[in-house]
Amino acid sequence: MTGDDTARLIYLVLLGGAILMWFFAQNRASLGKMTQQALVWGLIFVGVIAAVGLWGDIRSTVQPGIARTVGENTVELQRQMDGHYYVTAEVNGAPIDFVVDTGATMIVLTRADAQAAGLDTSDLAFVGRAGTANGEVRTAPVRLDSLVIGPIEDRGVAAVVNAGELDRSLLGMSYLQRFSRVEIVDGRLILTR
């Protein structure tokens, strides 16, 4: 527990104590009603403490995929509740949600994400094949003008568009290999150029 955490806990305990004393002072005559109100306020107080303590987890659930810039050439992703790392990258200027997938060889875009990134999907040549957990799928090679995560920008990035059903685009090893260090520390994926 850090000094800031201790200070917050002391503040919350003092606030809770002040609220309880106010209830006792205001409701001396009707102890049963006062007990009910104190219980309700106590539960609210416990809920606030839980929300403060779990704020990091709540924030990462509400805003998954936010890459936190740690340094000039370093970004950090928080592991999500399902155990995966997600990131929202700008592909050709459009925000695209990816799952970081070390089992994927390439950057794989869904058709919808390829369209959102300004790629013409009507004349793609699905000449490649990829093996997935659901079997073999056809892929079409494309080149992305730009791919940006935090302060890190790449130009002329090779990728493929998936012909099959894919829930989310994949950020595979061809992209991860562009980093000099890929580390997992305390539930954080740290990518350093």
What are the Cα distances from residue 158, in Å, to 78, 117, 127, 144, 175? 26, 14, 15, 6, 9
Which pairing describes strands 152-162 and 94-100: parallel, antiparallel, or unpaired?
unpaired
At residue 81, the pLDDT reads 83
Phi, psi angle pair for 116, to nearest 5°:
-60, -30
Tens of pLDDT along 88-140? 999 999 999 999 988 888 999 999 999 999 998 888 888 888 876 667 788 89
